[in-house]
Amino acid sequence: MLLHLRVSGTLLRLFVVIVAIAMTGCSSIMSSTTGRLANNLSSGILNQDDPQTVADGAPAYLILIDGFIEENPNYPYLLFAGAKLYGAYGSVFVEDPNRRLNMSDKAFDYAARGLCLRRSFTCGMEKLPYDAFIERLKLVKKGEVDALYSYATSWAGWIEPRAQDWNAVADLAKVKAAMQHVIALDEGYDNGGAHFYLAVLESLLPAAMGGKPELARQHFERAIVLSGGKNLMVKVYFAERYARMKFDRPLHDRLLKEVIEADPKAKDYTLSNTLAQRRAHKLLNSADEYF
């Protein structure tokens, strides 16, 4: 009950602030403040150590950020915050296939709109043929790395629940190219998050079927270095996607034990790390059956 009261109290305070600002009639202040509030909401969720609290309370935040965006549709940072929230919530807590599809649609729509507002030449570039897409991608500079990363991660999240749709899967080459461009612009952005995404994408298939597991390993290892080891989910996927594919039991068990023994609390990774530790226990417990 106390947790629900805290959520309700936070929402009430947000609405009071929003109403007070709206009464000033200054749209620029409104945009700036709602952007900060949206980022604070994202941070509050990512730093929560009780996944069930997030599962129960996040829908209210999703509705709230939709309202912010409706009132401020041309504010990129607000769109990126919405993309991040919808992408994270839909991929982790939503089991219904149709709801996951809808949430991934909204996340990618928000991210694409945000990137388009930052640089108009990117508008609709995901629909271009690969070569034309690459030419547009090359025009994205370091100042837009945050926008490009939001776009690429949301696009990857959009493809994931459509794994049986070959038209969607065909776009993975473009997503990889976007992630590689993020690395070229700023390898350390989001603590090496682009390396993590590329590691997962390159380990989807074994080498015999066109996958690149050794390249995936390089990306996994680089992501661990750039995050200072604080993103525990990297090691979980490293164990699950690479070590299991290669039947490397020592590497598998070492990585998972490191995850279980680590402190899950880390800025913007606490929720993810808590979930990573739960997954690590399950994978370690099932290792005898797998290997």
Tell me how long the chain is: 291
Of 154, 186, 218, which closes a domain?
A: 186
Residue 218: Cβ within 10 Å count: 15
Residue 240 and residue 286 in one domain: yes
- Average pLDDT for 259-281: 93
Neighbours of 271 (CB within 10 A): 21
Same domain, yes or no, for 214 and 146?
no
Contacts of 98-107 with CB under 8 Å at 24 or more apart are: 100/161, 101/161, 101/162, 104/154, 104/157, 104/158, 104/160, 104/161, 104/162, 105/158, 106/82, 107/82, 107/83, 107/154, 107/157, 107/158
Which of 120-134, 222-236, 265-279 is the least confident region?
265-279
* Top-confidence residue, 71 or 155: 155
One domain for residues 153 and 213 = no
- pLDDT number for residue 38: 56
CA dist 126 and 208 (Å) reads 29
Are both 144 and 63 inside the same structural domain?
yes
pLDDT at 23: 33
Say whether both 73 and 142 belong to one domain.
Answer: yes
Span 179-201, mean pLDDT?
Answer: 96
Q: How confident is the model at residue 40 (pLDDT cuts 50, 70, 90)?
A: low
Note the pLDDT of residue 43: 67
97 vs 70: CA distance, rounded Å: 26
193, 149 contact by CB (below 8 A): yes
Give the separation between CA 198 and CA 215, rounded to whole angstroms: 9
**Full-model pTM:** 0.84
Same domain assignment for residues 235 and 179: no
Q: What's the confidence (pLDDT) of residue 220?
A: 98
**Per-residue pLDDT at 208 exceeds 90:** no
Q: Enumerate the H helices of 170-269 as residue ranges.
A: 172-186, 193-202, 213-226, 232-237, 249-261
Domain boundary among 186, 204, 237: 186
Q: Are residues 208 and 254 in the same domain?
A: yes
Q: What is the mean pLDDT of the chain?
A: 86
> What's the CATH code of the domain at 282?
1.25.40.920
In a domain, 139, yes or no: yes
User: Final residue of a domain: which of 186, 202, 220?
Assistant: 186
Residue 239 lies in a domain: yes
Confidence (pLDDT) at 33: 57
Residue 48 confidence (pLDDT): 75
Instruction: Domain of residue 278: give its range.
Output: 187-291
Give domain status of residue 53, yes or no: yes
Residue with tokens 């936070």: 10
**Can you give the pLDDT at residue 20?**
36
Domain count, the chain: 2
Rounded average pLDDT over 24-52? 60
Confidence of residue 251 (pLDDT cuts 50, 70, 90): very high
Ranges 70-74, 184-188, 213-217: which has the least confidence: 70-74
Answer yes or no: is pLDDT of 34 > 80: no
Same domain, 201 and 134: no
Q: In the structure, what pLDDT confidence band is assigned to residue 290 with cuts at 50, 70 and 90?
A: very high
Q: Does residue 24 sit within a domain?
A: no
* Predicted pLDDT at 13: 44
Question: Residue 19: which pLDDT band, with cuts at 50, 70 and 90?
Answer: very low
pLDDT over 90 at 42, yes or no: no
pLDDT of residue 268: 83
